[in-house]
Amino acid sequence: MSHKQIMEALSGLLLVLFVAMISATIVSVALPQIIGALNGTQSQYTWVVTASLLASTASTPIWGKLADLFSKKLLLQLSIVIFMVSSLACGFAQDTGQLIAFRAVQGLGMGALQVLVQVIIAAMISPKERGRYNGYLGGVMAVATVAGPLLGGLIADTSWLGWRWCFFIAVPFTVVAFALLQKTLKTVDVRRAGVKVDYVGATLIAAGVSVLLIWVTFVGNSFDWLSWQTAAMVLGGVVLLALATWVETRVKEPVVPLHVVRRRTPALAILASLAVGMAMFGGSVFLGQYFQIGRGYSPTEAGLLTIPMMLGVLVSSTVTGRMISKSGNVKPYIVVGSAVLTVGFLGLATMDHETSLVFISVAMVLVGAGVGMSMQNLVLAIQNTVPLRELGAASGAVTFFRSLGGTIGVSVLGAVLANQVAAAIKEGLAKVGIDAAGAAGGSSTLNIAALPEPVAAVVRAAYGDATGHIFLISAAIAVVGLIATLFLKPVKLRDSLDLPAPVADGKTPARRT
C-alpha cells in the first residue's frame, strides 16, 4: 500500500479505535448520575465498569488468534457491529441489570477493536516504517484514555443531552468508520487448510481470568482477604488457568501460543506491559478522583487538570515513533520511557491534599511521556521477533496482559485507597471532636457537597493524602517494568513484513512475503 492508501485506511482504523477506547472511560464521571437514574446499588455501580473490563480483557487474546485464522477485515467489521449495537442497547437500558449485561457485550467489541486495529496495521506496514504510524496510534489511545472522563462530564452536565448520550455518541462515529474501512481497507488473507479454533482453551482462559478479576474487584469490600470466598476464587481461577495451560500445550492452534510467550523478548515485554497498563488506567482513574474529591474541583475541571498527562503521551509517542522509524532501534526508547514513568510515579507518590498543582502537572507529564515512549513500542518489539503467521497471537498476548495489568491495577489500588481513606477519615474526625461512628454513614459517600463542612474537609484531606500512597505502589511496579526492559535484546527493526526464511544450504536466507 502507498502512503496515501495507508493514511486513508489508517484514518478509519484510528477513528474506530478512539471510539472503542473512549467508551471505556466516558462513563466514569457520569456514573453516579446513571446509577441514580436507574435506582442502582453500590455493587451495581462497580459492575457497570467491571463488566466491560472483564469482557474486554478476557476476549482480547481470542480475537488476536482469530485474526491469524480468518479474514482480518471481516473480523474488524463484525466487531464494529457488535460494539455499535451494544452501545445503542446501553443507551436504552431501563435498569442496572440490563446496563451491566450490555456493557459486557460492549466489552467484547472493545477488546476486539483494540487488538484487531494493531494486527491490521502490522499486516499493512513493514516493521521499519511501523514506528511512525504507531506514534499516531499511541496518540489516539492517550487522548481517548484521558479525554473520556472530561467528555462524559460535559455530556452528563448538558441538560439537552443527558447520560444516555455517553453511549449514543459512539454510534455515528462507528457508522462512519465502517463505511470508510469498507472502501479503503484492503487486506490479503491466506486461508490455511485444516484450521481449528481452540474453543476449549479460549473458554478456560476467559473463565480463569474472569474469576481472578472478580476476586480482585470485591476482595477487601464484600469479603476479607483471608476468607473462604478468597480461597475458592483464587484456587478456582488458578486451576482453570492451569487447565488452560495444559490444553494450550496440546492443541494444534492454541489461543495463546506458549512457544511465543516463553521467548525472551515477548516474556519481558509482557512483564513491562503490566506496568504500562497500570499507568494508563490507574493514572486516569485515580488522578481524576483526586482532583474531584481531594481538591474539590468539578468533573470538567478535573478533566482539564489531567491534560498534562495526555500531552506527555501525545508528544512522546509521536516523536519517538518517528525517531524509531529513522534509527531502527526500539530498545533505548522503551528503557528511557520506563525510567521516566518510574520518576513520574515517584513524584505523584509525594503529593497530598495541599500539593502544588504545578508540581503535580510536571509529574503527570513525566508519567504521560513514559507511557508514550513505551506502550506501543513494546508491541513493536514483540512484532519484530515473530513471523507473520503469529502476528495476531503475539499482538493479542501483549495487549491482553497490558489490559490485565490495568484491570488488576485499578482494582488493587482502589482497595488500598479505600482502606487508607477509611482509616484517615476515622482519625481525622476524632481530631476535630466528631463521633466517627455517627458520621460513618455520611462520610462514606462521594457526594462531598451533601456533607457538613467539617466532615467534608476531613474526607477531602483523607482522599488527597491517600492518593499519594497508591502511586508509591505504582512506582514500585514501574521499577519491575524498568528492570524487564533492561534485559530486552537490542533488535534492529527489519524492513520486510516477515522474518527471513531459514534455508538448509547455509546461503543468505530469502525473505518471506
Q: pLDDT by residue (tens digit) across 417-452?
A: 777 777 788 787 777 777 655 554 444 455 555 667
* 169 or 413, greater pLDDT: 169
Q: What is the pLDDT of residues 201-248, one digit of tens each?
A: 878 887 887 788 778 767 766 778 788 888 999 999 999 999 988 998
Query: What pLDDT shows up at residue 208?
Result: 86
Q: What secondary structure letter does DSSP report for 63?
A: H
Tell the burial category of 392 from Cβ atoms under 10 Å away from its Cβ (0-12, 13-18, 19+).
buried
Q: Collapse the DSSP code of 511 into the 3-class scheme (helix H, G, I; strand E, B; otherwise coil) and give the result.
A: strand
| Amino acid 362: pLDDT | 94
Q: Which 3 state secondary structure label does DSSP give 219?
A: strand
* Residue 219 φ then ψ, to 5°: -65, 140
Query: Is 90 exceeded by the pLDDT of residue 190?
Result: no
Q: What is the pLDDT of residue 366?
A: 93
Query: Which of 246-255, 331-340, 424-433 comes out lowest in average pLDDT?
Result: 424-433
**Phi, then psi, of 329 in degrees rounded to 5:** -105, 130
How far apart are the C-alpha atoms of 411 and 424, rounded to whole Å? 20
Q: 85 pLDDT band (50/70/90 cuts)?
A: very high
CB count, 10 Å around CB of 267? 16
346-360, 369-383, 483-497: least confident range:
483-497
pTM: 0.74
Measured N-to-C along each axis, helices 96-124 and 127-157 cross at an angle, to the nearest 10 degrees, of 160
pLDDT given at position 235: 95
Contact 51, 219 (CB under 8 A): no
Return the C-alpha cell found at 404.
Answer: 490485565
CA 220 to CA 413: how far, in whole Å?
Answer: 11
Query: Is the separation of the CB atoms in 28 and 285 below 8 Å?
Result: yes
Distance CA 60, CA 395 (A): 9
Number of C-beta neighbours around residue 225 at 10 A: 10
DSSP class of residue 496 equals S
Query: Do 226 and 219 meet the contact criterion of CB atoms below 8 Å apart?
Result: no
CA–CA gap between residue 289 and residue 285 (Å, rounded) = 6
273 vs 115: CA distance, rounded Å: 14
Chain Cα centroid distance, residue 485: 20
CATH number of 3-186+253-486: 1.20.1250.20
30 close to 153: Cβ distance less than 8 angstroms: yes
